[in-house]
Structure 1
Amino acid sequence: MLPTRLSICKSMILRGFLVAGLFASTAAPTWAAEAPDAINGLNAQLLATMKQAQALGVQGRYNALSPVLSKTYDIGSMTRAAVGANWEALQPAQKAALTDAFGRMMIATYAKRFDGFSGETFKITEVTDRATDKMVKTQIIQNNGKPVAINYLMRKSGPEWRVVDVYLDGTISELASRRAEFTSILKAGGPDALIASLRKQGDRLLSGG
């Protein structure tokens, strides 16, 4: 990302979990090896995709990032949390459609926004235990030297650690922001309206809009 993309980084987090796992560090603290292995895999694939961004195009970036993002994020858990209390009233087919549309939109957002590489560096600054969770605190250092602080809440899902929420500047919960948006759409048009909205967002991102 170019130096002028600092505000874009923040927008990416608020609109679609856009900087999860950017944790490469040339001098990582000794405890960094204890961070969830999923972060390292995501980081490697994301950086590789950024470096080939122009050749891949938006659909190619989507295809490259989809497997690792789907594995690293607990998309089902995040969809349930974002929908909130309304989730239990949904039919199984609606839950499945919402989870699919939400995941597609999230991955498409990555593919759209991460369209190049300009020498960014990424590092974990701290990993803390929170009951059964881990909070992975990170910074993205842009090529103008400005850091963007991003924290990732990770939870064990079976044998693997997976991202269940993202915090910009350490305090702004992505799921809380999404819950307000989803509640408004559900109130106005029901679950089908929310599914349609998420699908439309994904289509627009992948079409270059």
Structure 2
Amino acid sequence: MTTRRLLLALPVLAAPLAAPMVAPMLAPLAPRPAAAQGSPAQVVEGFHAALLGVMRDAQRLGVRGRFERLAPAMGQAFDLAAMTRISVGPPWNTFSPPEQQALAEAFARWSVATYAARFDGFSGESFATQGVQALPNGDALVRTVLNRPGGQEPVVLSYLVRGGRIVDIYLTGTISELASRRSEFTGLVREGGAARLAAELNSRAQRLLAG
């Protein structure tokens, strides 16, 4: 993949949402329950290893194959349910449990589909962990860099790890995914509640996986 596409995919979850369109539902993809995975650095490094493996085999796998390979890795490394709740903000508490479940599944599906569509090749990229900062509330910030080929300057990526899983990514160390998409999600919820947002995320995932 080109370096430009790689940068567009980091962080991929902050990508702008497309115009409204209702697409057929994909197979359910629910966020996985939390599991012990070791230190915060090991969580991030495990995800990076899985991602690089998919990139190296991207052409053979195709977008659907990359989705199937990434889904368990992302479900383990990321707390996608918590990321959904935080991204939606206060309106989350007004949704019924079935609405929350449907929205969390749509968010997880869109997240994995975005990675699968954009990480479509390998050009010698690598990740390196620079350090881990323990935060007062018990979270940890894992600072990493994406090394790019051709003498290009590395890209700084910081992962916020809470309870053993990633809940946010900071591009260049300061731009939060969750903060970036809160306003977008708020607008969609205002238009049509949880169903409107879930339909949009499912629609976007459908288009990404169509190639």
TM-score, normalising length: structure 1: 0.84
Shift of 1:7: 4.6
Gaps of 5+ in 1: 17-32
Alignment match, 2:146: 140
> What do residues 38-65 of structure 1 show as CA deviations (whole Å, max 9, x unaligned)?
2232122211111110000000000001
Alignment match, 2:101: 96
Tell me which of 35, 58, 65 is aligned to 1:60.
65
Alignment match, 1:180: 183
Shift of 1:153: 0.3
Contact 1:3 1:144 in 2 (8 A): no
Contact 2:142 2:161 in 1 (8 A): yes
> What do residues 41-90 of structure 1 show as CA deviations (whole Å, max 9, x unaligned)?
21222111111100000000000010010011001111110110001100
Alignment match, 2:132: 127
Alignment match, 1:163: 166
Q: Partners in 2 of 1:125 and 1:168 — Cα distance?
A: 14
Q: Matched residue of 1:115: which SS?
A: coil
Q: Higher relative contact order at CA 8 Å, sep ≥6: structure 1 or structure 2? A: 2
Shift of 1:10: 4.6
TM-score, normalising length: structure 2: 0.83
- Range moving further from structure 2, 137-146 or 56-65: 137-146
Which residue identity does 2:190 align to in structure 1? K
Change in Cα spacing, 1:197 to 1:104, as seen in structure 2 (3 Å) is: same
Alignment match, 1:19: none
Which residue identity does 1:192 align to in structure 2? A
Between Structure 1 and Structure 2, the one with more helix by share is 1
**Alignment partner of 1:39 is 2:44:** yes
Contact 1:14 1:168 in 2 (8 A): no
Gaps of 5+ in 2: 17-37
Contact 1:152 1:167 in 2 (8 A): yes
> What do residues 97-138 of structure 1 show as CA deviations (whole Å, max 9, x unaligned)?
000000000000010000001111211112100120000111
Contact 1:13 1:168 in 2 (8 A): no
Q: Matched residue of 2:122: which SS?
A: coil
Tell me which of 198, 205, 208 is aligned to 1:202.
205
Contact 2:106 2:201 in 1 (8 A): yes
> What do residues 150-198 of structure 1 show as CA deviations (whole Å, max 9, x unaligned)?
1110011xxxx10011111111110111211110001112211111001
Q: Partners in 2 of 1:198 and 1:13 — Cα distance?
A: 11
Q: Matched residue of 2:131: which SS?
A: strand
Change in Cα spacing, 1:6 to 1:56, as seen in structure 2 (3 Å) is: closer
Tell me which of 154, 165, 185 is aligned to 2:161.
154
Contact 1:2 1:142 in 2 (8 A): no
Runs of 4+ in 1 over 6 A off after TM superposition: none
Change in Cα spacing, 1:9 to 1:75, as seen in structure 2 (3 Å) is: closer
Contact 1:105 1:202 in 2 (8 A): yes
Which residue identity does 1:59 align to in structure 2? R
How many percent identity over aligned positions? 43
Which residue identity does 2:156 align to in structure 1? A
